[in-house]
Amino acid sequence: MQCQTQPQIYVYAYSWTPGFCHGQKYPGCSNPLPYWTTNFTIHGLWPQYATSGYPASCTNEAFDMSIPQQIGMNKMTQYWPDVQYDVSSPSYDSFWQHEWSKHGTCSGLSQLDYFNQALDLTNRIPTPSALYKYIGHNMSADALRLGFGGANHVALLCTNQILNGAYTCWQQSNNIPSAQIACPSSVVKEDTCMSSDDIIILSLPRS
């Protein structure tokens, strides 16, 4: 979908690496950074229309390969990892390239600002503290939703009740995600942890 009108909100997508890694043998799953074992990491920052749908691939501006170095490779790999590749792989930045090409080009932000804004949000709405004591166990989905602001402020993502991610929604002010807001029904409906209130919080081996 090409960008035809100005997106009105942002969806901030988190990944729960232990759930994403379930059944996988990716390098980052077998040798994770300690941060990935206890915290949500970034999947992406997605401009979206307030009702439903989102623009994609709004320009042909190529990904600037120097962005990870400008921000700091250690910071990027900690907070926005691609566990499918070893960090030394020449393909490691393909995930960031994809997120910029599909979503960042519709943000109205420079590449450096787009990535920095996404990184800033991981500190403004960090991993809910309620999650920590349940890593490796089951917990209430509603309790986790409450940690993100309540049921209308987050969509949890599960596969067979195994947590693997979450979406929160943000007001857009001059292209900047300025404040968390209630999500539109189109986002809330993407919650896939609704089969029961019991969700599985998998763990990863800690190095």
Q: Which active-site residues does the annotation give?
A: 43, 99, 103
How many other CB atoms sit within 10 Å of the CB of residue 194?
13
- The token pair at 86 is 């070893």
Two tokens at 106?
Answer: 């519709």
What separation in angstroms does the CA of 84 have from each of 31, 89, 147? 11, 10, 28
Spatial distance between the Cα atoms of 158 and 41, rounded to a whole number of angstroms: 15
- The whole-angstrom separation of Cα 185 and Cα 17 is 26
Phi and psi (nearest 5°) for 31? -140, 65
Q: Give 186's strand partners.
A: none
Task: Kindly state the tokens that stand for 24.
Answer: 């996988």
Helices (H) and strands (E) in the chain, counts: 10, 7
Residue with tokens 């209630």: 182
CB 193 within 8 A of CB 157: yes
